């Protein structure tokens, strides 16, 4: 059921682009032993080691956690090369680690499991695109390969005009830069954009600071997101399934609906 805080009809009518968070919004992660085992083996192979001891995995985990804290405190996102050479493996030769960094980061992500689409994600994206909306992704992911590969695996290649990854703009949500980079890529004013995400601070506060017209929070009923309602950053709607977006966005008035 949709919970609407304040969504003037004029704002909905003016929306031309709908942008999405990825993790927890369009996809979720499942534990999957074959994926996790293959990812660990891939990291070992990339580093030229038959195995990594538990102490090595623990050290890498602690280093990544330290980077995450720094990145969130500073709302910055470094490139994979910088993360792996400066934070994860500073004792290894830079010239060895740097070219491996994208694959190392992808494999590290897969150590947690496999990604699957959220229920109704594909059907909702298809229909929103058919209704004339321009779609995109804005994500804090550390991997440059992860989301593009998921989009291809899910069969969503034709839906998104832009994919803004934090490492590409050197800034993390809720900083406004990733949102504004998406609007520049689409050549659309922020006032004609809506954003859908599952984190209040990162997604709703961030898009509002960037001047987006609407911020929509998708919430897991079993894990409600802490919300600090203010005049400037309250969610315009809280939904519990992606398909509810079809009740909010009837069609883009500035573009003819089109078959896909």
202 located within any domain: yes
pLDDT of amino acid 253: 72
Average pLDDT over residues 161-171: 94
Element (H, E) at 67: helix 54-74
Judge if 16 and 102 occupy the same domain.
no
Average pLDDT, the chain: 91
Exposure of 157 by Cβ count < 10 A (0-12 exposed, 13-18 middle, 19+ buried)? exposed
Q: Is residue 65 part of a domain?
A: yes
96 and 209 together in one domain: no
Instruction: Provide mean pLDDT across the span 225-242.
Output: 74
Closest CA to 207 of 195, 216, 199: 195
Region 154-168: mean pLDDT is 95
Would 260 be classed as within a structural domain?
A: no
Kindly state the percentage of the chain with pLDDT values over 90. Answer: 84
pLDDT of residue 11: 79
Residues 162 and 148 in one domain: yes
Q: How confident is the model at residue 22 (pLDDT cuts 50, 70, 90)?
A: very high
Work out whether the CA dihedral 123, 160, 15, 28 comes out positive or negative.
positive
Q: Domain of 82?
A: 32-110
What's the rounded mean pLDDT across residues 19-36? 96
CATH number at residue 148: 3.40.50.1000
Tell whether 84 and 144 lie within a shared domain: no
Domain end call among 67, 93, 110: 110
Shared domain check, 94 and 184:
no
Give yes or no: residues 218 and 143 share one domain: yes
| pLDDT over threshold 60, residue 3 | no
**What is the pLDDT, as a whole number, of residue 192?**
96
DSSP state at residue 139: E
Instruction: Look at residue 234 and tell me whether its pLDDT is greater than 80.
Output: yes
Residue 228 has pLDDT above 60, yes or no: no
Instruction: Report how far residue 131's alpha carbon sits from residue 164's, in angstroms, rounded to the nearest whole number.
Output: 23
Residues 168 and 93 in one domain: no
pLDDT of residue 10: 56
Nearest C-alpha neighbor of 12 from the set 258, 240, 237, 210: 237
Q: DSSP code of 116?
A: E
Residue 254 lies inside a defined structural domain of this protein: no
Interval 179-191 mean pLDDT: 97
Closest CA to 180 of 215, 212, 203, 142: 212
| Residue at which a domain ends, from 110, 142, 176 | 110
Is position 197 within any domain? yes
Taking phi over 0 as left and psi of -120 to 50 as alpha, with beta for the rest, 24 belongs to: left
pLDDT of residue 9: 59
* Same domain, yes or no: 13 and 68: no
**Residue 220: per-residue pLDDT:** 75
- In this predicted model, what pLDDT tens digit does every residue of 71-128 receive, in sequence order? 999 999 999 999 999 999 999 999 999 999 999 999 999 999 999 999 999 999 999 9
Same domain, 225 and 177: yes
| Domain final position from 64, 93, 110 | 110
Regarding predicted confidence, which is higher, 62 or 13?
62
Do 61 and 24 have their domain in common?
no
Is 257 part of a structural domain of the chain?
no
| Distance of alpha carbon 213 from alpha carbon 171, whole angstroms | 21
Q: Tell me if 259 is assigned to some domain.
A: no
218 falls within a domain: yes
Torsion angle of alpha carbons 89, 21, 170, 109, nearest 10°? 10
Same domain, 181 and 233: yes
- Condensed to tens digits (0 to 9), the pLDDT of residues 198-211 reads 999 999 999 999 99
Dihedral sign for Cα atoms in the order 159, 239, 183, 26: negative
Give the pLDDT of residue 258. Answer: 52
Whether residue 12 contacts residue 212, with contact meaning beta carbons closer than 8 Å, is answered with no
Q: Give how many domains the chain has, as a whole number.
A: 2
Q: Is the pLDDT of residue 41 over 70?
A: yes
Contacts of 75 (CB under 8 A, 6+ apart): 171, 172, 174, 175
pLDDT at 260: 55
What is the predicted pLDDT for the residue at 222? 59
Whole-prediction pTM: 0.90
Q: Are residues 76 and 133 in the same domain?
A: no
């Amino acid at each position: 059921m949709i919970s609407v805080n304040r969504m003037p009809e004029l704002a909905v009518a003016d929306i031309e682009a709908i942008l999405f968070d990825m993790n927890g919004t369009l996809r979720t992660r499942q534990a999957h032993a074959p994926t996790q085992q293959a990812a660990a083996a891939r990291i070992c192979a990339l580093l030229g080691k038959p195995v990594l001891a538990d102490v090595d995995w623990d050290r890498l985990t602690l280093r990544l956690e330290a980077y995450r804290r720094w990145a969130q405190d500073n709302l910055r996102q470094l490139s994979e090369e910088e993360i792996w050479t400066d934070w994860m493996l500073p004792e290894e030769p830079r010239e060895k680690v740097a070219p491996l960094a994208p694959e190392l980061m992808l494999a590290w992500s897969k150590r947690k499991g496999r990604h699957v689409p959220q229920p109704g994600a594909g059907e909702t994206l298809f229909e929103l695109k058919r209704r004339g909306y321009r779609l995109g992704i804005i994500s804090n992911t550390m991997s440059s390969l992860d989301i593009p590969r998921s989009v291809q695996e899910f069969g969503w290649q034709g839906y998104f005009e832009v994919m803004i990854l934090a490492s590409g703009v050197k800034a993390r949500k809720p900083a406004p830069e990733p949102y504004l980079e998406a609007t520049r890529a689409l050549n659309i004013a922020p006032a004609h954009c809506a954003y859908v995400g599952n984190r209040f601070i990162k997604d709703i506060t961030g898009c509002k600071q960037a001047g987006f017209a609407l911020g929509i929070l998708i919430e897991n009923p079993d894990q409600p997101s802490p919300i600090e309602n203010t005049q400037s950053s309250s969610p315009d709607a809280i939904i519990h399934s992606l398909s509810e977006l079809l009740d909010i966005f009837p069609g883009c008035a500035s573009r003819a609906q089109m078959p896909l």
